Amino acid sequence: MSEIIHADHHDDHAHGPAKGILRWLYTTNHKDIGTLYLWFSLAMFFIGGAMALVIRTELFQPGLQFIEPAFFNQMTTNHGLIMVFGAIMPAFVGLANWLIPMQVGAPDMALPRMNNLSFWILPFAFSMMISTLFMEGGGPNFGWTFYAPLSTTYAPDSVTYFIFAVHLMGASSIMGSINIIATILNMRAPGMTLMKMPMFVWTWLITAYLLIAVMPVLAGAVTMMLFDIHFNTSFFNAAGGGDPVMFQHIFWFFGHPEVYIMILPAFGIVSHIIPTFARKRLFGYTSMVYAVASIAFLSFIVWAHHMFTVGMPLAGQLFFMYSTMLIAVPTGVKVFNWIATMWRGSMTFETPMLFAIAFVVLFTIGGLSGIMLAITPADYQYHDTYFVVAHFHYVLVPGALFSIIAAVYFWIPKWTGKMYDESLGKLHFWLSFIGVNVTFFPQHFSGLAGMPRRIPDYALQFADFNMISSIGAFIFGFSQLFFLYVLIKTIRSGKPAVGRAWEGAKGLEWVLPSPAPYHSFTYPPEVTDKESYA
């Protein structure tokens, strides 16, 4: 994604990238590392997507047609793990690497060598995890939430590889987050106060704090699993005085902040794209910042809404129900602000804007089904059904993923110096938009009618909805291959882009030429209100 121009007209120490594979192995350049992260996440997206299509193929009709239930379980588990930890999170980290130094006017990330390390342990982590699928006894098959005792007493032998893979992913995320916070807090250009920072920088600052707070909790959970499996402890084993419910508490204490880790940077991206194509300032910048901070805080006190059915006293159920519903308030503020930004703007509908508007609409649908799930008595019906599957796919696919795709279309002229083909981009959007809704909307209905999640076979009355869902999944999946084609076409033969590729775009990155030089902002730029959405 990076056609870097050689900056050899500089007389100082600045120089272009090294040649060959070593460039990518040894690089400490934030643009190179951002590129590596983005390509890696795209590869993982296709692997996880292929697993989703295996799942949808099996569910096309009731009965068992193509795969064994044991393999089906491995597919659902690995699809979830790869999409969460391999596709969405690294894609956001890649965007952070590319954009944050340029947006705050810094020459690079604060800790470039650690940046290299935090990327390069990821391919090892995922090779290790995916390799377990080919081992005797199979790979992880206990769901992406790996509840004990499914992941301890009843786990396949390969579970130890999974545990170490999760440790590596956690280490990578923690290092990446420390790097991002250190960059944002210390390397902003003079004059860029915290409340003048671009929204993407703000959302990532808060996300990085969430990651630092919860990744050790995840590491702790898998370490306890490791001890239960190999060292005869009983953290989660009732026979030895432990408690399997404690696993769920610890997991979701990590897990709920984790789902916001996957959506807050998306809020930031959309807050760049909508003002650009509405040609207005972002409505309510300050309230946007406080809304993100409130959502981050609330994410720590709602975890037990994932486990209402585990048996909880009334006071606990009420607390977690109300605290969960409270999240709708700051989220509502954000949705209102995006709409108010578009209100009476001179809107145009280029591909990034289409994805951003679809984000606002479809993420809101996902948010509303979230509120339904937060209602404790109703949750007893929805728990572990396809309604939950529809809910979190609506917030993750047309939510997080659409924002990433929007970001790629929006910033690709800056990265490559080339413009994508607008009509191909629009075609990709409409295929994705139709595909995603055809896939996930019917799942609301099969879920409400009682179809459980994570099953390879189902009762006959769910046949129609599942068939529609599978057709949608194939439309969506193959339209992402089309996305790959659009990307490659852009890189190879896109029309040259100017520095400010979008007339309404604001921010320091647009002051730079396109493609952004290998070394940018060696001297801090001037920060003006003209380049701020605030």
Partner 1 sequence: MSLEEKQSQDIKATVKKLSLVVVGMCCFVAALVPLYDLFCEVTGLNGKTGGPYVFDEAKVRPDTSRLIKVNFLTNTNEGMPWEFRSQKGSVRVHPGAATTVSFYVKNTTGKPMIAQAIPSLVPSSAAEYFHKTECFCFEQQLLMPGEFLDMPMRFIVDLGLPRNVQSINLSYALFDVTDRVGLPDDIQSTSNQVSPVAGG
Positions in the binding site for partner 1 (CB under 8 A): 110-111, 174, 177-178, 181-182, 185-187, 212-217, 219-221, 224, 232, 235, 238-241, 243, 245-246, 249-250, 253, 311-313, 316
Q: Which of 56, 188, 256, 428 is catalytic?
A: 256
Residue 70 structure tokens: 């044991």
Nearer to partner 1, 220 or 477 (CB): 220
* Polymer length of the chain: 534
Q: Which of 30, 167, 188, 305 is catalytic?
A: 305
Nearer to partner 1, 34 or 242 (CB): 242
Q: Which of 27, 41, 173, 369 is catalytic?
A: 173
Nearer to partner 1, 220 or 450 (CB): 220
Nearer to partner 1, 247 or 338 (CB): 247
Q: Annotated catalytic, 173? A: yes
Strands (DSSP E) found in 308-412: none
Residue 23 structure tokens: 């460039």
- Three-state DSSP at 311 gives coil
Q: Annotated catalytic, 260? A: yes
Nearer to partner 1, 110 or 400 (CB): 110
Nearer to partner 1, 214 or 354 (CB): 214
DSSP per position, 186-248: H-PPTT--GGGS-HHHHHHHHHHHHHHHHHHHHHHHHHHHHHHHHS---SS-GGGT--HHHHH
Q: Annotated catalytic, 519? A: no
Nearest approach, Cβ of 239 to partner 1 (angstroms)? 3
Nearest approach, Cβ of 313 to partner 1 (angstroms)? 6
Q: Which of 30, 56, 306, 391 is catalytic?
A: 306
Q: Which of 383, 453, 454, 489 is catalytic?
A: 453
Q: Which of 58, 228, 258, 350 is catalytic?
A: 258
Q: Annotated catalytic, 305? A: yes
418 forms beta bridges with 496
Nearer to partner 1, 145 or 287 (CB): 145
For residue 140, what are the CA distances in angstroms to 71, 81, 156, 217, 455?
Answer: 10, 10, 7, 20, 15
Cα separation of 100 and 205, whole Å? Answer: 10
Nearest approach, Cβ of 436 to partner 1 (angstroms)? 35
Q: Annotated catalytic, 144? A: yes
Q: Annotated catalytic, 334? A: yes
Q: Which of 108, 228, 350, 531 is catalytic?
A: 108
Cα separation of 163 and 225, whole Å? Answer: 8
Q: Annotated catalytic, 258? A: yes
Nearest approach, Cβ of 307 to partner 1 (angstroms)? 12
Q: Which of 77, 118, 172, 376 is catalytic?
A: 172
Residue 437 near residue 481 (C-beta atoms within 8 A): no
Residue 184 near residue 270 (C-beta atoms within 8 A): no
Nearest approach, Cβ of 182 to partner 1 (angstroms)? 5
Nearest approach, Cβ of 122 to partner 1 (angstroms)? 18
- Three-state DSSP at 16 gives coil
Measured in degrees and rounded to the nearest 5, phi and psi for residue 16 equal -80, 180
Nearer to partner 1, 243 or 421 (CB): 243
Nearest approach, Cβ of 51 to partner 1 (angstroms)? 29
Measured in degrees and rounded to the nearest 5, phi and psi for residue 462 equal -95, 5
DSSP per position, 102-167: HHHT-SS-S-HHHHHHHHHHHHHHHHHHHHGGGSTT-S--STTTT-TTTTTTT--TTHHHHHHHHH
- Three-state DSSP at 419 gives strand
Nearest approach, Cβ of 514 to partner 1 (angstroms)? 28
Other Cβ atoms closer than 10 A to 517? 18
* Nearest residue to 167 via CA among 217, 117, 207: 217
| Residues annotated as catalytic (active site), given as ranges | 79, 108, 144, 172-173, 256, 258, 260, 271, 305-306, 331, 334, 453
